[in-house]
């Protein structure tokens, strides 16, 4: 497919994506309705297994498209043995929308389905919004400081939504995905939110602390993931136009912070501060790791030239 001109390759890719959604999302919705109407434990377990199989198939097709339509080289440095039946909190930096299909490709059928905390507006994405709901992806409604000041009751709703979602995840294999910076990296955001980091935005530890508080005793480990594009941060169009030569993914395992594991109430100020310090340490190491990968890629390019 990479030999086809871009003007032909992109429509074919879009058609396959659409067919993948149209064929696999309806069965997900039917199974979700059955699970909701008939809350019988053995039936729910069977349906959850079927839902995961369908989701993994959907991701496998999308991943195969990356192989078919691009020559992108995905370099994975994984320092841990992964378990597809485990319980993980996955923390990653967020460079581009390309991060999501790349991470799904890397982790598919190696760990449980990556579940993201999604903005509530994404529920209305045709078909996919309902599919995410059926697969128990948590939807979060974000409020501005002005809205919270006007209605203080809004301040605790994101906490309740997090705890409700995590309660579901305790009984099934799960990988809760958190882009800790809270937004995609851009140069403008880095100028405003970069702080002391050269290649990252400042991490936001609040969401991590709430997940650890709600699920700490049910998690096996934290997977610390670093995403690097040595040739510049791409768009999805760049990916399928075959303009992304390489992606580097580094995966290492971290122990669950003791200060958060097993707690039942809202994290205390001390616990939140401890998690913030822990995340900041991870981010300093990640920033150095990105710098080393970029430096190595630059040296390789110079030798090739």
Tens-place pLDDT, residues 41-64: 889 889 989 999 999 999 999 999
Q: Which of 21-25, 30-34, 163-167, 221-225 has the lowest mean pLDDT?
A: 163-167
* Dihedral angle sign, alpha carbons of residues 209, 256, 274, 91: negative
Q: What is the pLDDT, as a whole number, of residue 300?
A: 80
Provide the whole-model pTM: 0.89
Give the whole-angstrom CA distance, residue 260 versus residue 213. 5
Average pLDDT, the chain: 87
Residue range 11-52, pLDDT digits in tens: 999 999 999 999 999 999 999 899 888 888 889 889 989 999
Delineate the domains of the chain, giving CATH numbers in brackets: 71-304 (3.40.1130)
Tell me if 176 sits within 8 A of 166, measured CB to CB: yes
Count CB neighbours of 292 within 10 A. Answer: 12
Query: 262 or 286: whose pLDDT is higher?
Result: 286
pLDDT of res. 143: 66
Average pLDDT over residues 123-146: 81
Return d(Cα 305, Cα 117) in angstroms, integer.
Answer: 43
Given a contact cutoff of 8 angstroms between Cβ atoms, the answer to whether 81 and 123 are in contact is no
- The pLDDT of residue 261 is 47
Q: What does DSSP say about strands 221-228 and 246-254: parallel, antiparallel, or unpaired?
A: antiparallel
Could you tell me the strand order of the sheet in which 174-179 lies?
73-78, 246-254, 221-228, 87-92, 174-179, 114-116
Provide the b/e sequence for 188-222 (b: ≥16 CB within 10 Å): eebeebbeebebbbbbbbbbbbbbbbbbbebbebb
**pLDDT-based confidence at 3, cuts 50/70/90?**
confident
Residue 260: per-residue pLDDT: 52
> What is the average pLDDT across 248-263?
78
Average pLDDT over residues 130-144: 80
Task: Calculate mean pLDDT across residues 151-158.
Answer: 69
CA 302 to chain centre: 33
Q: How far is the C-alpha of 9 from the C-alpha of 188, rounded, in Å?
A: 32
Among 54-58, 181-185, 244-248, which is the least confidently predicted range? Answer: 181-185
Supply the pLDDT for residue 259.
60
Which of the two residues, 276 and 304, has the higher pLDDT score? 276
Q: Which residue is associated with the tokens 């440095």?
A: 77
Question: Do 228 and 293 contact (CB within 8 A), yes or no?
Answer: yes
More confident residue, 108 or 133: 108
Q: Quick check: 262 pLDDT over 50?
A: no
Which of 78-82, 125-129, 300-304 is predicted with the least confidence, judged by mean pLDDT? 300-304
pLDDT at 267: 64
Query: Is pLDDT of 168 > 80?
Result: no
């Amino acid at each position: 497919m990479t030999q086809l001109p871009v003007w032909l390759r992109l429509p074919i890719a879009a058609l396959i994506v659409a067919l993948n959604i149209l064929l696999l999302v309806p069965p997900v919705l039917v199974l979700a309705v059955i699970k909701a109407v008939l809350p019988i434990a053995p039936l729910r377990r069977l349906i959850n297994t079927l839902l995961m199989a369908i989701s993994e198939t959907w991701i496998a097709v999308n991943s195969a498209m990356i192989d078919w339509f691009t020559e992108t080289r995905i370099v994975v440095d994984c320092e841990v043995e992964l378990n597809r039946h485990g319980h993980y909190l996955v923390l990653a930096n967020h460079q581009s929308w390309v991060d999501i299909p790349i991470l799904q490709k890397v982790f598919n059928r190696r760990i449980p389905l990556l579940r993201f905390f999604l903005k509530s507006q994404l529920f209305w994405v045709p078909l996919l919004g309902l599919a995410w709901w059926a697969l128990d992806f948590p939807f979060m409604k974000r409020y501005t400081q002005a809205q919270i000041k006007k209605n203080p009751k809004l301040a605790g709703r994101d906490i309740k939504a997090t705890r409700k979602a995590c309660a579901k995840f305790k009984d099934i294999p799960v990988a809760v995905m958190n882009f800790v910076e809270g937004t995609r990296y851009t140069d403008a955001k880095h100028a405003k939110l970069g702080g002391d980091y050269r290649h990252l935005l400042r991490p936001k530890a609040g969401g991590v602390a709430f997940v650890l508080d709600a699920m700490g005793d049910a998690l096996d480990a934290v997977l610390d993931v670093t995403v690097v594009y040595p040739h510049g941060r791409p768009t999805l169009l760049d990916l399928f136009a075959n303009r992304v030569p390489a992606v580097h993914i580094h995966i290492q395992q971290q122990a669950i912070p003791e200060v958060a594991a097993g707690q039942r109430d809202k994290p205390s100020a001390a616990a939140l501060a401890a998690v913030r310090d822990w995340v900041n340490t991870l981010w300093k190491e990640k920033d150095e790791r990105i710098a080393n990968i970029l430096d190595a890629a630059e040296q390789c390019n110079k030798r090739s030239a």
